[in-house]
């Protein structure tokens, strides 16, 4: 029989320098591989931790490789949506509203 070394969320959190809650939450959401044993206890194998490190690693991008970003502050072409109109509709029951007729 093969023996496996399993790690608790606390062990993984200590390795990452983060909270055990964050590690558990990532496992619950299915973002990182893990084992479920017993009454929903979460455990990790060393290869799960390696996969987690690969998942959260941010690659460096060269300064000249970044695309030029042009922004425009003119959003009038978008126009209002049904949802935004409903959100900004006046509420006549608000005291002190000058637009009450």
Q: Is residue 42 part of a domain?
A: yes
Residue 11 pLDDT > 90: yes
Interval 27-55: pLDDT, tens:
999 989 999 998 989 999 999 999 999 88
Q: Is residue 93 part of a domain?
A: no
Total of domains in the chain = 1
pTM: 0.56
Q: Is residue 77 part of a domain?
A: no
- Its domain, for residue 20, covers 9-56
* CA–centroid distance for 29 within its chain: 10
Q: Is residue 82 part of a domain?
A: no
Q: Is residue 67 part of a domain?
A: no
Query: Tokens standing for 73?
Result: 């502050």
Give dist(CA 34, CA 28) in Å, integer.
Answer: 9
Interval 63-85: pLDDT, tens:
766 666 777 666 666 777 777 77
């Amino acid at each position: 029989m093969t023996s496996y070394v399993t790690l608790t969320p606390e062990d993984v959190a200590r390795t990452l320098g983060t909270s055990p809650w964050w590690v558990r939450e990532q496992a619950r959401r299915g973002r990182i591989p893990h084992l479920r044993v017993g009454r929903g206890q979460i455990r990790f194998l060393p290869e799960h931790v390696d996969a987690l490190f690969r998942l959260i690693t941010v690659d460096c991008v060269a300064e000249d490789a970044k695309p030029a970003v042009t922004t425009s502050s003119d959003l009038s072409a978008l126009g209002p949506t049904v949802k935004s109109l409903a959100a900004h509709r006046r509420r006549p029951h608000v005291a002190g509203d000058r637009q009450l007729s």
